[in-house]
Each structure stands twice: as structure tokens, then as C-alpha cells.
Amino acid sequence: MRPARLTGMRPERGVATAMPDPRIAQQRAEQLASRLPPLLVAAERVASTVAQGVHGRRKVGQGETFWQFRRYEPGDSITRIDWRQTAKSDRVFVRETEWEAAQSVWLWRDASASMRWRSADSLPEKVERANLLVTALASLLIRGGEYIATFGESAPPATGRAALNRLAELIGRTPDHATAPAPSLPPPARLPRHAAVVLVGDFLSPLADIDAAVRRIAGRAIKGHIVQVLDPAEQSLPFAGRTRFEGMESEGEMLVPRVESVRADYQSALADHVRGLADIARAVGWTFMSHHTDRPPETALLALWLALAEAAKD
């Protein structure tokens, strides 16, 4: 029995509004904020909460402080070879330095039809939570001087407010699944060595497909992080009695006479699937975490930020 993609309702979009203030300077600031997309406003709020108490990431780059020696790889400049270290062995070594500024982080979130679901009016759709996490992470990264980029876009990695606004605009768009269904897994991408990758989605596709997609991306010292976003009902299966499940991505439908009778098997299948995702990430040296939409986004963002910082030290 495979974990099922469930169906649900779509939430209403919020609208950011400016609060009047007698002070002219603050009023102008509020007016400016009111023109920002609601997604960006929420993401900045979450990022600001997490930013308190977190530190920048140490990275390999173009700084002057020595970091480490590593084996020469095809594509490395000959000028980076450390001939003294190389002379000590039968291998060729290059000298890497510590970079306290920029390193590209490539972001992707699942915008497929299965992400447009929630089990209760009080919860966000999975895609809304994924959008919030990715945008808030981008805000944190840019605050630290990082360069961000998105999968599927031709624009090179960039930093600064303009880059954040562009990302928020791109992922805030609602795909028209009737004409061009969004893929459930990230597309192949050739990334620069030492880039970091963050993939956010429900990852309910077959494990073999997920493994193939991850291995296409992994390589050239790419550090990756997988964040699975699920609605709490997708884990607990709280329904009772005669229930019809409709596939949101051409899986068809299934009528279950008594959902209670299959709940244990379903939960076991989902647990196996989650363990499989963790194994896929571990096999390529990536990290994996699971997040439910009934939990605070700050918790997931902090865990993700710490995972990025830890990976940058390796």
C-alpha cells in the first residue's frame, strides 16, 4: 500500500494592508510594505524570527584565509594547484580558501497538483507552506550575503533585495495544471561545484523516481537538503467510515468502505516511505527533514538553516 495523495480545499489568499501612522517616515514605510506580495511579508516575518541567534556560514570561496587541501578535479584551474602539497604524494592537490561572503544556494519547491491541498480550513495548503519556507530561507541567505537561484530559471545566482523580490514573484505564481502540470520532482540541472541545493515538496512519488532525480543533481561536491512538507492528515489518516479518495495527479480514485480498517497499514506504508526518503538523502551525503503544516514554520526554517551551516563546514 503506497501513501496516498489526498484531496481538499483551497485557501483564500490574504491581502497585506498598510496601517496608518501619524509619523510621515513610518507611514511611507508602511505604504511600501503594503505593496509587497503577502508571501514576501510573511516570509520576512518568519526569517526575522529565526535570524535572532543564528550566525553566518563558513564556506569555501575566494577569500585569502587558507581553508583546506583537496584532490584536483576536472574543471579546476591549474593556477589553483598547490605544487608543494602535490609533491608530497602521487596525487594532485588544489588549495581552497575560506569565503565569508557568497556561495550559491539553489532553491526548488514542488508546485504540482498534490501540493494544493489542506485537510482543514485552519491549515495552509502544502504549497503555501513550501513557498513560505523557501522565501524565508532566501531572505535569511541574502541577509548573510549569499547568492540564490531557482531551478528552471535561466537567471544566474544573485543576491540583494531585487533577487528576493524576483524569487517571491516566481514561486508565488499559481501554475495552471490544466494546461501545463507542474512536475512533482526537480528537473535536471548542472550546478556549480560547492553549490548547495534545497528541495521542498511532499515527495510522495515512487522512491525509485525520487532517487533518480536526486542522483541527477548530486555531484561535484553539491550539498543537498530535502524538506518533505505534509498535511497532518496525510500521516494520521483521521477519516472514518466510507471514504472516497481522489488522485490529484492522474492516479484515479479509490473507494474505501471503512477507512479505519486500513489506517494501520497506511501509516506503516507512509513510515516506510519517509525512511526511504531519509535513506536516499543519506546515500548522497544530503540531509532530510519532515515538516507538517500544523507546526510553526519557524521550527522547520531554523532546522534547515542549521543543516545548511553544518554542511558548509564539511
**What are the start and end residues of each CATH 3.40.50 domain in the chain?**
37-58+100-313
pLDDT in tens, 26-68: 455 444 444 446 777 788 888 887 775 454 454 444 444 555 6
Closest CA relative to residue 243, chosen from 231, 232, 255, 261: 255
Nearest-angstrom CA–CA distance, 196 and 85: 28
Asked if the 37-58+100-313 domain carries CATH number 1.10.3120, the reply is: no
pTM above 0.85, yes or no: no
pLDDT in tens, 188-240: 877 877 789 999 999 999 999 999 999 988 876 788 999 999 999 999 999 99
